[in-house]
Amino acid sequence: MGDYIIEMNHIRKEFPGVVANDDITLQLKKGEIHALLGENGAGKSTLMSVLFGLYRPEKGEIRKDGEVVNIQNPNDANDLGIGMVHQHFKLVEVFTVLENIILGAEPTKYGFLTTKETREKVLELSKKFNLMVDVDAKIEDISVGMQQRVEILKMLYRENEILIFDEPTAVLTPQEIDELMKIMKNLIKEGKSILFISHKLNEIMEVSDRVTVLRKGKYIGTVDVDKTSIDQLSEMMVGRKIDSIKKNPAKKTDEVILEVNNLIVPSKLHKNNAVNNVSFQTRAGEILCVAGIEGNGQSELVYGITGLEKISSGSIILNGKDITKMSIRDRNLTGMSHIPEDRHKYGLVLDFNLGQNLALKKYFQEGFQHNGFIDFGKIKEHSEILIDLYDIRSGKRSATIARSMSGGNQQKAIIAREIDCGAKLLVAVQPTRGLDVGAIENIHKTLIKQRDQGKAVLLVSLELDEVMDISDRILVMYNGKIVAELDPKKTTPQEIGLYMVGAKVQDRFKTVGGEA
């Protein structure tokens, strides 16, 4: 027993309408990376929040080095050497990196901040663990990857021994993920112990020593990574085998759904244009994927097309209608749905309930309202159907406040709403971010089904696997421009990678204003 640094025994945590953790046991050995795996809503974040003192369990005990401890709040957790990186970072945007790191543990002498020594300590830590940060930069100006390194430094600065990472890789680019994996291995070498939540089985296989699997709030088992396989893990997790995506070839049509001509979208970060003279077409019955490394204009391209950001020039034609100057509502009604990149910023009104969120794009339509009066019965009815159809799990079904839902289920809700609109064009940005393998499979199937029904899907993804698996045509964006058009059947991830980093440009895109 003695070699466990943390033991969580028989933990039970309830929320109104759900038992998020039901008799869960988790044992963390000193010096291991222990992965926590489970479907969306399985109770992973809840369990970690219990350990970090954010929630108090109804039952169960927590032991540190064999002794029962009472963790009332995050400060207690911190005193026990437990630190946590939340999926949505908790940093003060307008503060510098250094200020954020010392926040809450400010070193003072006679009531004055003693930043000089701290600074050295932080610099030393960042060197030791190879966590490159610019200590004087403001959080709002640095990349998500760097923000995460700040969060890690924060834990190290507090000399935490047990580090919790809640879905750290969901928001990172593939390159940043590699980096993080290295950092985690480094931390172990320095004697830390890590709890790691991820939906990506290959990551788990790569870095962790043992895996604990949860399903629907219950403990399923703990296995050694050496003695298991991806298939076995996914079966433990969803209780059935995951089939690989079967895709029949696209039915070729000539019906152009979306036509983008010479689109220019200014950048908010720098003087150059984020999207620089991009033209392409999407046809009915195809999944067109825009690939690229984050920050090469894909987000702005989508914002331009969907109307969330002003474009400086160019034209957008949807279903034969010029929508360049149309309002967002009119674009939607002309036949566009949009699964946005940032689900908390755009996708949901977090304090509305699930039913209202599912009706966010329909509430004004006849049937959902009569003479300006909303028919809440109809909204509920409509949402109950979608909840079952898309397996959105929540405590109180349509009455659940969106904020209290698990991250993956929030995402499912958005997808359900957007596909339910039945638009000819579906713009999907990172639709599977933060979803478990079972849900990803479902979403992929759904996207393919949309395609087979003659819709056009414009998929923006940073995930090369996803791009290769489900797209019918790939456009690669680099530095605001399209640099290649590829056929997934005839290309390799390596080749896409070369275009993504700008090492190669197809001849036809070398001249300004190439046509795709």
Partner 1 sequence: MLGLKSKKDTSPQKTITEISELKVTVISSVVSIIVGLLFGLVFLFIIEVIKETPDMTNPFYGFSNLMVEGFSSIRSIIKVLYKAAPLLMVGLAVGFAFKAGLFNIGATGQYTVGAFFALIAAILWQFPWWAALIVAMIAGGLWGLVPGIFKAVFNINEVITTIMLNWTALFFVNLLFYNNPGIYESRERTMNLAVANPSAILPDLGVSDSYFNIGIFIAILFAVVIFIVLERTTFGFEIKACGNNKNASVYAGIKAKRTIVYTMLISGALAGVGGGIQYLSGTVPYTVTSTTLLPMGFNGIPVALLAFSNPLGIIITSLFISYLQVGGEAMQPVYSPEMVNIITSVIIYFSAFALIVSQLIKKYMKKRLGGDEATEETDVVLDVASEEVNKISTPKTPEEGGEK
Binding residues for partner 1, rule: CB under 8 A, are 13-20, 46, 54-56, 58, 306, 308, 327-332, 338, 340, 345-353, 356, 360-361, 363-364, 369, 372-374, 376, 380, 395-399, 401, 403-404
Distance of CA 92 to the CA centre of its chain: 21
Nearer to ligand ATP, 282 or 394 (CB): 394
Provide the binding-site residues for Mg ion, judged by CB under 5 A: 45, 407
Nearer to ligand ATP, 4 or 55 (CB): 55
Count the neighbouring beta carbons within 10 Å of the beta carbon of residue 17.
12
Q: Using the structure block, give the residue that is written with the tokens 């898309």.
A: 390
Least Å from the CB of residue 42 to Mg ion: 9
Among 9, 12, 15, 516, indicate the residue that binds ligand ATP (CB under 6 A): 15
Burial of 101 (0-12, 13-18, 19+ CB in 10 A): buried
- The strand pairing partners of 224, in sequence order, are 210
Do 166 and 197 contact (CB within 8 A), yes or no? yes
- E-strand ranges in 292-413 read 313-318, 321-322, 336-339, 369-370, 373-374
Do 175 and 146 contact (CB within 8 A), yes or no? no
Among 4, 11, 46, 266, indicate the residue that binds ligand ATP (CB under 6 A): 46
Nearer to ligand ATP, 15 or 352 (CB): 15
User: By CB under 6 A, is residue 20 in contact with ligand ATP?
Assistant: yes
Among 5, 26, 37, 38, indicate the residue that binds ligand ATP (CB under 6 A): 38
Nearer to Mg ion, 217 or 407 (CB): 407
Least Å from the CB of residue 444 to partner 1: 24
Indicate which of ligand ATP, Mg ion, partner 1, none lies near residue 41 (CB less than 5 to 8 Å, by partner kind): ligand ATP
Q: How far apart are CA 238 and CA 242, in angstroms?
A: 8
Indicate which of Mg ion, ligand ATP, partner 1, none lies near residue 54 (CB less than 5 to 8 Å, by partner kind): partner 1
User: By CB under 6 A, is residue 45 in contact with ligand ATP?
Assistant: yes
Least Å from the CB of residue 463 to partner 1: 23
Site mask, ligand ATP, residues 395-424, x = CB under 6 A? x--------xxxxxx---------------
Count the neighbouring beta carbons within 10 Å of the beta carbon of residue 117.
10
Name the residue number minimizing CB distance to ligand ATP.
Answer: 408
Q: How far apart are CA 20 and CA 178, in angstroms?
A: 31
Q: For 205, what's the count of Cα atoms within 13 Å in the CB-facing half-sphere?
A: 11
Q: For 26, what's the count of Cα atoms within 13 Å in the CB-facing half-sphere?
A: 32
